[in-house]
Structure 1
Amino acid sequence: MSNFLNLIGRILIALLFIGGAVQKVTDPAPVQAMLLSIHVPSWLVWPLAAINLVAGIALISGPRIRVWAVLLALYCMATSYFHWQLRADPWQVTIFVKNWAIAGGLLILAAQGPGRWVWRP
């Protein structure tokens, strides 16, 4: 049962990153604006979309999952900066907290590993 739950959890977290990749590709302007707001080149939206997609697929398939989980946890913590908007948009604070909660789940995944259900090339 724990291997099954591990896989379901990995899929659910991966969907967030795969969805983020799709969102960045289909509507890059919001992410580009966020990048420009911290003086980062807007073209970085494309590598970020690719990383989101590859990382999401890696979470589902399992190879090097511990490394991907740590990297994605750091990514979630770093990108939460954009959502710390207490006065401008209080709902963004909820996203900030969710990013940190997802990072926590990813760190648990990094500690526990992918279980038995992984694709091994």
Structure 2
Amino acid sequence: MSNLLNLVGRILIALIFFGGAIQKVGDPAPVTGMITGIGLPEWLIWPVAAFNLIAAAALVTGPGIRIWALMLAAYCIFTSYFHWDLRADPWQVTIMVKNWAIAGGLLILASQDTDGVSTGGRRAAKTGFQPDQK
């Protein structure tokens, strides 16, 4: 049961990053504005979108769940800077705190023994959880 809960939790967290990738590709203007607003080049949106997509997929499927969780936690903490805007939009502070909470969940995930909770390959075989093989 704990492996199933671990997988469901990873899927729910990954949805945030899948959605972020889709938003960045579908409408890059808001994020490029944030990126250029701190002096970084706007082309960074494309590697960031790719990172969101790849990291989300790896968080769900493994292997390397621990390292992906750590990288995503660091990403959440770093990107929370973009939402520190008390005077213009207090709602942004809520988004910033949500980023910290997501980072906290990812750190908890990284601290767990993730052997046997991958959805593919040899690790899944250890737990008895096997994806459909056709």
TM-score surpassing 0.5? yes
The Cα offsets for residues 37-70 of structure 1, whole Å up to 9 and x where unpaired, read as 0010001100000000000000100211111100
Pairs within 5 Å for 1:84-99: 84-99=84-99
Does the Cα contact within 8 Å between 1:86 and 1:92 map onto a contact in 2? yes
Higher relative CO (CA 8 A, sep ≥ 6), structure 1 or 2? 1
Aligned-pair CA distance for 1:115: 5.4
Rg larger in structure: 2
Between the two proteins, the alignment pairs up a number of residues equal to: 121
- Partner residue, 1:120: 121
TM-score by structure 1 length?
A: 0.96
Structure 1: give runs of 5+ residues left out of the alignment. none
Partner of 1:19: 19
- 1:75 aligns to what? 75
For 2:110, give the aligned amino acid.
A
CA distance in 2, matches of 1:112, 1:63: 14
Question: Corresponding residue for 2:107?
Answer: 107
Question: Aligned pair 1:62/2:62, yes or no?
Answer: yes
d(CA) in 1 for partners of 2:90 and 2:58? 33
Distance 1:24 1:91 in 2: 20
The alpha carbon displacement at 1:79 in A equals 0.2
- The equivalent residue for 2:41 is 41
Shift of residue 34, structure 1, vs aligned partner:
0.4
TM-score by length of 2: 0.87
- 1:53 is matched by which residue type in structure 2? L
Following superposition, the deviation at residue 87 of structure 1 comes to: 1.1
CA RMSD of aligned residues (A): 1.1
